[in-house]
Every structure is written in C-alpha cells, then in structure tokens.
Amino acid sequence: MLLIQDIHAETDGKKILKGVNLEIKAGEVHAIMGPNGSGKSTLALVLAGREEYEVTQGRITFFGKNLLELSPEDRAHEGMFLAFQYPVEIPGVSTTQFIKTAVNENRKYHGEAPLDAVAFLKLMKEKMRLVDMDQSLLTRSMNEGFSGGEKKRNEIFQMAMLEPSLAILDETDSGLDIDALRIVAKGVNTLRNENRAILLITHYQRLLEYIVPDFVHVLYNGQIVRSGTKDLALELEEKGYDFIREESESSVSATQPENISKT
Amino acid sequence: MIDLSYIQKRFDQLQASHPNDELASLRTEAFNRFTRLGIPGLRHEEWKYTNVSNLFNNEYQQALSASALSGIDQSFLDSIRLPGSTDADELFFVNGRFISSLSSIRSSNDELIVISLPEALKSDFAAIVKQHLGHSNRYLEDGIHALNTSFINDGVFIYVHPHLKQPGDLNRPLYFYHISDVRDNHILSQPRNLIFAAGGSRIQITETFATIGTMDNLSNQVLEVVVNKDAYVEYYKIQNTVNANQISTTHFHQTGKSYVHALSLTLNGGTIRNNTNLILDGEGCDSHLYGLYLINGRTHVDNHTLVDNRQPNCYSKELYKGIMDEYATGVFNGKIKVERLAQKTNAYQSNKNILLSDHASINTKPQLEIFADDVKCSHGCTVGTLDENAMFYLQARGIPQQNAKALLLKAFAMDILVQIKPDRLRNYVEQLISDRLLINE
Ligand SMILES: Nc1ncnc2c1ncn2[C@@H]1O[C@H](COP(=O)(O)OP(=O)(O)OP(=O)(O)O)[C@@H](O)[C@H]1O
Ligand SMILES: [Mg+2]
C-alpha cells in the first residue's frame, strides 16, 4: 500500500528526515516511536503533503502512485488520513460544515453524488456514537475552544466518517484519559480490516495494548534505526531510548536501518 | 487644475430653473463652499489615501430633472430588485433623480410618508426639514460634500411614523435603488435624501446601486437619517457594481436614546469612499456599525467612520472586516470623538483585514479624540494573510485548495454576515459572497 524509500526532508535548510525506509501493507498496523524531535510528525506531514517540508531525496508510492506528485487533497481522496498531533482551530466553520464538506468532496472525487441532509445526519449520528462524541461540539466552530481530549476525539470522529485506507495517528493518545483512550482504540479497531492499514505514532506502550501493532519502529534523528514486534515497545518502555542512542552512535557507519534492526 | 466650469454651468441652470424654491439658498451657500474648497486632493487630511480628483478629469452630465429620463426596461429593474421587494417600499433613483413612476410605496400614510424635499418644505414637515437637512454639512467639510448639497433638488423626505403594530415587528423594508444610466453619457449622480424616524418608530432601510451602460459614472450620494427617542433603525448598504465610482455618505443623527444598526457591504466597484457618521446626540444611545469589503482587481474602498459621542452613557460598537485580493486597496479610518459632556461613553472599534496578494494593501487608522475623563474606549486592528495551518488542515481532509480558501474567507466574513438581521437579505448577500468566492454548496 505504502512504500517509503530513502526519504530525506528538510525545512528552512534544517535536515529533519535523513533517509527513512518503510513499507506498510494492507491489513497491517505499524507503530512509530522515538524521542521528541526525532522527526515523527515531520514524516506524517510529508506523507500528508505539507509543502513546508521539502523532500530532497527519495520516493514514496501509495497504491502504486507517486505520492509526492499528489496534492494534499488528492492524497486524502486516495485514502490517506492524518489525525493531527495539533488539530487546528477554525473559527467560523462549524464541525458539521467542515465534515460535511470533506465527506462530499471525497464522494465527488469518486464520482458519487453528495450525501443528502438525512443520510449525512444518520451517518454522523452513527459515527458519533462510536467515538462517544458530545453532540454540542458539532455546532461549535471546528476545534475552537475544544479541550485537548475533545480535539483528539474529533480527529477520530473524522477518521470514522471518512473511512480512509491508511490512517496515520500522530500522538492521538497523548493527553487522553483512560476512557477516552479506550474509545479512540475502539474507533481504530472498528476501522481495522484486511484492506486498510494504520500507522500509529506514539510515545506510550499503553495505546499499543489496545491497538496491537504488527510492527514497531524507532525513529531516531531522522532515521528508522530499529524495527521489531510489539515487544520492542515493551523494551523501550523499560529501558528508555538510551540504548538506542548508544547503538546508533556506535554504528555510525551503518546507515542502513535494516542492518541495525536485524536481531 | 481640473476644469470644473461645466459644473458651474449646470449649477446656474439649476438655479435659473428653480429660482424661488426653498432650497435655492442652501444650494447657493453650498456652491460657494464648493468653489472655495474644490475637489479634495491627496493633501487633504481626510482624503490622503483616496484620489477622487482624478475622477473629475471627465466631463460628466448631470440629470437636473426626472422628466428627461426614460427607457430602462422592466427586466433590468427586476434583475436588481432586492429579496422581498414585492412587499417592500421601493424607491428608484436614476442618475440621482427620484423616479416616482418606477417607485412603489406600499406602506399606508399612517406608517410612512414619502414626499419630495421641495414639497416637504411647503408642508407640515417644513420645520423638520429645515432643521435637519444639511446636518451632515457640519461634519463633512470638504468640496465633495458641498458639491452634493449644491445640487439638492428633488430628493425625497421620508417621515416614519411611530410604530403601530406589535412590538418587535418592523414596518415594510424600505429599499433605495440608485441606478446610473451611462449608456449615452458620462454621468455624475448626486442623490440627496432625508429620513426622519419619529420617536418610537422602527424602520429597516437598504440602499443598493446599479449601473446600466459602459460610460463612466460617478455617484456622490448622501442620505441623512434623523433617529428620534426610542426609534429603531436598521440600515444596509450593498455595493456590488463593477467599475462604479462612488462617494456614499450615510449620516445618522440620534437625537434621543435610540438604536442604530448599520452595515455596509462592498463587493465590487471602482473607487469607493463611504462616509458613515453616527452623531450620538441623546443620552443612552445604542449604536452598531459594521462593514465588510471583499474586493479584488483594482477596486479601492475607503471606509471613513465617525462616532461623535455628545451625550453621556452612549454605547457604540464598530467592526469592519476586509479581504483584499489582486491589486485591491482598502482604507479604514475610524474616528471616535468623546465630547466633554459625554461621560460614561463606551465605545469599541475593531478593524480586521486579510491580504490575499502581495500587491493588495490596506491603510487602517483609528483616531480617538477624547475630552471626557470617565470613558471606556477600545480599538484594535489586524492585518494578516490566510491561515496556512487551517488551509492545510482542510486540504488534508480532501477539500480542494480553492474551496478551502473560500470556506475560510467566508468564515472570516461570517461575524459581519450574521449582523444582517433580515433572513432573506442575509441569504441574498451570502449567495453574492458565495458566488464571488466560487463556493458551490
Ligand atoms: N517548520 C519547522 N521549522 C523548523 N524546524 C522544524 C519545523 N518543523 C519541525 N522542525 C524541527 O524538526 C525536528 C523534528 O520535529 P517533529 O515535529 O517531526 O518531531 P517529533 O518526532 O514529532 O517530536 P515530538 O515527539 O515532540 O512530537 C524538531 O527538531 C523540530 O524542531
Ligand atoms: Mg510530533
């Protein structure tokens, strides 16, 4: 589904991604962990098409298409969804209006007629129940004055409405209470099937107990320096990133992440 | 130096044809002022950013009487009619002249009276007209305003009776249509009207403008509104005519505790100058001024507002928002004056702008003149660009760039649009804006 090959990206002359390789197949759940500032969000934003980050090297294909040539909206239309680490507040645009526009633009791209008011309302009610979202948020301006947890829940709600093929969740678990975390996990697990894939960016093993990943990767200093199974997350939780740092520094010449992650 | 001798000729003609009319001396006095002051240039403090002198490089025709006008067909009139026109009071002006044959007063005489200024001066209303016509002259001391006064002629006087119906509902809306017929000549239109909202009356006024033909047109239009104790006035101005050059003055004189809610909307035009004055001459006035300018091409819009607090305990709120694209230029100049007597004034002003192109610009300036000590005044202005984070967020959800932009701009305009209180007028305006921003809903 998604193939990332040797991606280098920078902004303002600052190199952030320094050769990322990753393949995600349909049906898989991948988790990316890594210390603050290692480039996780940058990778997610590069995938979603944020122009601020210039890709200077490498290739990305998504369902066989050259992803880097697609506009952000077309990436969404092709099935990519990013739950933002910092969802944006949009004064004057209600949550309902935002989501209705998004849903119908996606339908339009696929040659489907827009949902009428009744069908849309029905769909919205169903998905709101799934993520247990408060009705009153719908008429308010998008994310404006929402609590941290409400913003995150709103991201999952949008994901449920848009039913993407690849959902990238950038720290959607941060700042959530235990109940909210379960709800987010439920939202993701409901979406999960053999045609879809999920990329979780997280700092905490806890989320991975609810959404069990097939692969865990460590992004460090702009590269994936280690990959493994869910046990890797447990190991990180126990030891912190220090051992990764040591390893990565003692193998400066071994820039191919594959070499490092082999155990 | 611009040759304005043709204006002198027209003035002499007008005076000669109406020698004994009650308005003659007002015109003479104003014309002397015009001759002395001339057309304001960029060195005039109040006209620094708006060049009107180059609009006078043309020699314009002026219609001195309504009878000379004809030949505007019904389909054109229907195309410019505002929503709900069939139960509104509709006043049509062509090239500045009131055309009674096109107009429809559907209100009864005990609700609202419309008569020409010369007639009013011969009627029971003479004292009112004498007292209030030209009140704005004290506030707009420039040649442009004097030029309008010099040609006061057959404008209308409207007397709004105290409200008879259930409290809460309004009289019929009052629509002004100002048409410039520039099919054959360059035209200078100078409508001048006076509305007197009697104590306890309620009225909702909309002025809109249209052009037919392709020659140049300049409209120098003035509306004075007297708002008496406990009267309620809503006022909307809609400017949406490509290439129309306009100086449009709306002067509210609140003579007692009363309510004014005024909004101007500019979507198209050539060079536009709006003067909106609120003279708060009664204790406890409540006044709201809103404006939205959404312009592109080379359109220039200058909104000059004045809130003159003359009595204690008045509240005024002012919010103007602008979106400028391409080579469009905007000016906002908001003057708040608090006179010595006007203790406990509460005046709030805000101007917010978005520039969509490197060539667009805005000059925004608050001007506070405060002579009382116990007052609350606040003002603020912002100039920004489209929020890129918000744009990306919308696009990442599959909303194409152009639509995302339109959605954000409409959201920016929304807190002005919601101030258009009549639903059908607001829907009409929202549609104009959606069309402009290419939103297909
Ligand atoms: N627009 C930008 N301008 C300058 N530097 C940037 C920009 N965006 C990211 N960076 C820098 O790039 C590095 C990686 O940032 P990124 O947000 O991808 O980290 P992260 O791994 O998501 O961190 P966290 O775990 O804290 O969310 C950081 O040092 C950050 O300061
Ligand atoms: Mg991050």
Query: Is the Cβ atom of A54 under 6 angstroms away from ligand 1?
Result: no
Taking only the tens place, the pLDDT of each residue in B386-440 is: 999 999 999 999 999 999 999 999 999 999 999 999 999 999 999 999 988 875 4
Taking only the tens place, the pLDDT of each residue in B366-380 is: 999 999 999 999 999
How far does the CA of residue A252 sit from the closest CA of chain B (Å)?
36
Taking only the tens place, the pLDDT of each residue in A158-188 is: 999 999 999 999 999 888 888 889 988 998 9
**Assigned CATH for A2-93+161-262:** 3.40.50.300
Q: The pTM is what? A: 0.89
Cα R_g (chain B), whole angstroms: 21
User: Mutate which of A88, A97, A120 to disrupt the B interface (most B C-beta within 10 Å)?
Assistant: A88
User: Looking at the predicted structure, is the pLDDT value of residue B284 above 90?
Assistant: yes
Q: Do B403 and A158 touch (CB under 8 A)?
A: no
Taking only the tens place, the pLDDT of each residue in B146-200 is: 999 999 988 999 999 997 665 556 678 999 999 999 999 999 999 999 999 999 9
Higher pLDDT, B360 or B3: B360
Taking only the tens place, the pLDDT of each residue in A46-97 is: 999 999 999 999 999 999 999 999 999 999 999 999 999 999 999 999 999 9
Chain A nearest-CA residue for B389:
A88
Percentage of chain B modeled with pLDDT above 90: 87
**Cβ-based neighbours of A167, under 8 Å, separated by 6 or more:** A81, A83, A159, A188, A191, A196, A197, A198, A199
- Please name which of B156, B258, B173 lies closest in space to residue B207, comparing C-alpha atoms: B173
Q: How many residues does chain A have?
A: 263
Exposed e or buried b per residue across B291-313, where buried means at least 16 C-beta atoms within 10 angstroms of its C-beta:
bbbbbbeebbbbbbbbbbbbbbb
- Which of A88, A93, A101 is closest, CB to CB, to B389? A88
For chain B, the domains span 1-282, 304-385, 387-441
Taking only the tens place, the pLDDT of each residue in B19-52 is: 777 899 999 999 999 999 999 999 999 999 999 9
Rounded CA separation A247/A262 (Å):
12
Taking only the tens place, the pLDDT of each residue in A116-168 is: 999 999 999 999 988 888 888 999 999 999 998 899 999 999 999 999 999 99
Rounded CA separation A158/A154 (Å):
6
DSSP codes of every residue in B113-166: EEEEHHHHTTSTTHHHHHHHTTGGGGT--SHHHHHHHHT--S-EEEEEPPP-S-
- Please name which of A50, A49, A66 lies closest in space to residue A5, comparing C-alpha atoms: A66
Q: Could you tell me if A243 lies within 8 Å of chain B, comparing CB atoms?
A: no
Q: Is B43 helix (H, G, I), strand (E, B) or coil?
A: coil
Considering every ligand atom shown, identify the ligand nearest to the alpha carbon of residue A39 and give its number: 1
Residue range B59-64: mean pLDDT, rounded: 86
Considering every ligand atom shown, identify the ligand nearest to the alpha carbon of residue A16 and give its number: 1
**CA neighbours closer than 13 Å in the CB half-sphere of residue A130:** 23
Higher pLDDT, B2 or B191: B191
Helix runs in B3-61, H state only: 5-17, 24-37
- Residue A258 tokens, joined: 């594959």
